[in-house]
């Protein structure tokens, strides 16, 4: 059988630990036998990041801008323990943070649904995709403990380039307390909104956005206004033509509605709301190992990955020669997502079809009772076979060959 041809290379970002082992197996068993794979390879493994003083991370981000689609393996974000373990020159920043900043992107997290791994919320039938505005707010705030000689008056003060000052009372403390100041920019909120509208159109999903603008009239009110204006001016017609909706509601109302819903929407959230809700969603849908993640820039550049990390504990078992049963589904879906997007951009229907088949073969494998240990623990299926990391991928390869025969 002839291999499927590609036109433009994918940007391939290799990574660390157990996911690096899975990466190789996925390529060898599930991609290369079927696709004449073209990639531009960047090794973001921690050792190579250290050798290049992290230049490789920025290079991979620039290549993603150039080609439009990347697939990324999970990578270590170094901390003090890693600094020692890998004898690093310095504590490098999170690669995901570097890439996100370079692409000015928004991260969308989507669960993979299979029969037998039921969401904890019984009404959910379709994936709920979460978009978190990963910029500013409480993550870049300034905080103070209020102590000293009371009363202590707290004010907001801004000084412009000409030295003009604007002040606003916050509170007069008569006893100890705490104070916090935070910010965001219209440019960042606008990029976030655009990425969300584009993703919703691309996936033909309703877009929900929620803040607390009744309480935070200026701050959250600005978020609401930016989304509303962009929708009215640029997306209303496109959304109507695609048969999808933009819906704004208060965050507390949104939480209640999401729980009662069937799912199937993209839910856009401010930074803190997205932080909290994304962990709740990953758990509520069953498993972090079944959660995919895609970074989308406002100009339509896509970087696909799994939402989980490098699964360090399994890697140490692997190094000791013990058997591992690590779930490769989210990493496989990162590959299928990237190949499908490449297929759409380059008008390669065979590549799109292959991405669909790869996902179907993966889901069929689990639904037939063959799965890794993490899923075997939570499945409602009977007659389950727990497979090791490699045999699970080989079982998928068997189904994939049958689908393509």
Site string for ligand NAP, 325-344 (x = CB under 6 A): -xx-----------------
Establish if 374 lies at the interface with ligand NAP (CB under 6 A): yes
If the CB atoms of residues 275 and 299 are measured against Mg ion, the closer one turns out to be 275
Q: Which two tokens stand for residue 19?
A: 């996911």
Site string for ligand NAP, 157-176 (x = CB under 6 A): --------------------
If the CB atoms of residues 75 and 292 are measured against ligand NAP, the closer one turns out to be 75
User: Residue 44: which residues within 8 A CB-CB, separation 6 or more?
Assistant: 13, 14, 15, 16, 56, 57, 60, 72, 73, 75, 95
> Comparing C-alpha atoms, which of 274, 296, 293, 315 is closest to residue 82?
315
Using the rule CB under 6 A, give the single segment among 74-82, 185-193, 250-258, 391-399 that binds ligand NAP: 74-82
Residue with the two structure tokens 């170094």? 78
Residue 37 burial (CB count, 10 A): 17
244, interface contact from ligand NAP, Mg ion, none, CB < 5-8 Å by kind: none
* Minimum distance of ligand NAP from residue 374's CB (angstroms): 4
Please, what's the b/e burial string for 297-316 (b: 16 or more CB within 10 A of its CB; e: otherwise)?
Answer: bbeebbbbbbbbbbbeebbe
CA distance 310 to 168: 47
Establish if 75 lies at the interface with ligand NAP (CB under 6 A): yes
CA atoms 143, 209, 260, 112: torsion sign: negative
Establish if 74 lies at the interface with ligand NAP (CB under 6 A): yes
275, interface contact from ligand NAP, Mg ion, none, CB < 5-8 Å by kind: Mg ion
313, interface contact from Mg ion, ligand NAP, none, CB < 5-8 Å by kind: ligand NAP
Q: Provide the strand spans (E) within 133-264.
A: 142-146, 152-159, 165-173, 177-181, 206-211, 246-250
* Minimum distance of Mg ion from residue 278's CB (angstroms): 6
Establish if 308 lies at the interface with ligand NAP (CB under 6 A): yes
Establish if 309 lies at the interface with ligand NAP (CB under 6 A): yes
Instruction: Label residue 324 left, alpha or beta by phi (over 0 means left) and psi (-120 to 50 means alpha).
Output: beta
Q: Which two tokens stand for residue 293?
A: 């993640």
Using the rule CB under 6 A, give the single segment among 193-201, 218-226, 227-235, 309-317 that binds ligand NAP: 309-317
137, interface contact from ligand NAP, Mg ion, none, CB < 5-8 Å by kind: none
If the CB atoms of residues 44 and 400 are measured against ligand NAP, the closer one turns out to be 44
Question: 310 near 321, Cβ under 8 Å?
Answer: no
Q: Given candidates 59, 118, 202, 275, which one binds Mg ion under the rule CB under 5 A?
A: 275
If the CB atoms of residues 3 and 313 are measured against ligand NAP, the closer one turns out to be 313
* Minimum distance of ligand NAP from residue 44's CB (angstroms): 9
Q: Which two tokens stand for residue 330?
A: 């989210």
Site for ligand NAP in 266-285 (CB under 6 A): none
Could you please report the per-residue DSSP string of 87-152? T-SS-PPPHHHHHHHHHT-EEEEEEPPBTTB--SSTT--S--EEEE--SSGGGG-EEEEE-SSSSE
- Please give the residue ranges that form the binding site for ligand NAP (CB under 6 A): 74-77, 96, 288-289, 305, 308-313, 326-327, 374
Contact residues: Mg ion, CB under 5 A: 275
């Amino acid at each position: 059988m002839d291999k499927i041809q590609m036109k433009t290379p994918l940007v391939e970002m290799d990574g660390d630990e157990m996911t690096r082992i899975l990466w190789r197996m996925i390529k060898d068993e599930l991609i290369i036998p079927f696709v004449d794979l073209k990639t531009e390879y960047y090794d973001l493994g921690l050792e190579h990041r250290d050798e290049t003083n992290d230049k490789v991370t920025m290079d991979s981000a620039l290549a993603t801008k150039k080609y439009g689609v990347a697939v990324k393996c999970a990578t270590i974000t170094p901390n003090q323990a890693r600094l020692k373990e890998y004898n690093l020159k310095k504590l490098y920043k999170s690669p995901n943070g570097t890439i996100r900043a370079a692409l000015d992107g928004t991260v969308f997290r989507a669960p993979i649904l299979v029969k037998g791994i039921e969401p904890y919320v019984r009404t959910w039938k379709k994936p709920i995709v979460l978009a978190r505005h990963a910029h500013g707010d409480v993550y870049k705030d300034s905080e103070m403990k209020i102590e000293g000689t009371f009363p202590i008056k707290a004010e907001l003060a801004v000084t412009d380039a000409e030295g003009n000052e604007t002040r606003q009372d916050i509170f007069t403390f008569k006893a100890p307390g705490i104070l916090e100041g935070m910010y965001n920019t219209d440019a960042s909120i606008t990029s976030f909104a655009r990425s969300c509208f584009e993703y919703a159109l691309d996936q033909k999903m309703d877009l929900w956005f929620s803040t607390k603008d009744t309480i935070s009239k200026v701050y959250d009110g600005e978020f609401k206004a930016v989304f509303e204006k962009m929708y009215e001016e640029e997306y209303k017609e496109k959304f109507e033509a695609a048969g999808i909706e933009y819906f704004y509601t208060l965050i507390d109302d949104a939480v209640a509605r999401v729980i009662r819903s069937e799912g199937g929407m993209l839910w856009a959230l401010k930074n803190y709301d997205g932080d909290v809700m994304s962990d709740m969603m990953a758990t509520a849908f069953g498993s972090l190992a079944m959660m995919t993640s895609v970074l989308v820039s406002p100009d339509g550049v896509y970087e696909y990955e799994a939402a989980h990390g490098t699964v360090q504990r399994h890697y140490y078992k692997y190094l000791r020669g013990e058997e591992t049963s690590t779930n490769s589904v989210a990493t496989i879906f990162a590959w299928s997502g990237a190949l499908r997007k490449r297929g759409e951009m380059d008008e390669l229907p065979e590549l799109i079809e292959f991405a669909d088949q790869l996902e179907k073969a993966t889901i069929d494998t689990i639904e037939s009772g063959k799965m890794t240990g993490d899923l075997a623990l939570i499945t409602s299926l009977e007659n389950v076979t727990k497979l090791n990391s490699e045999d699970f991928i080989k079982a998928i390869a068997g189904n994939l060959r049958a689908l393509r025969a």
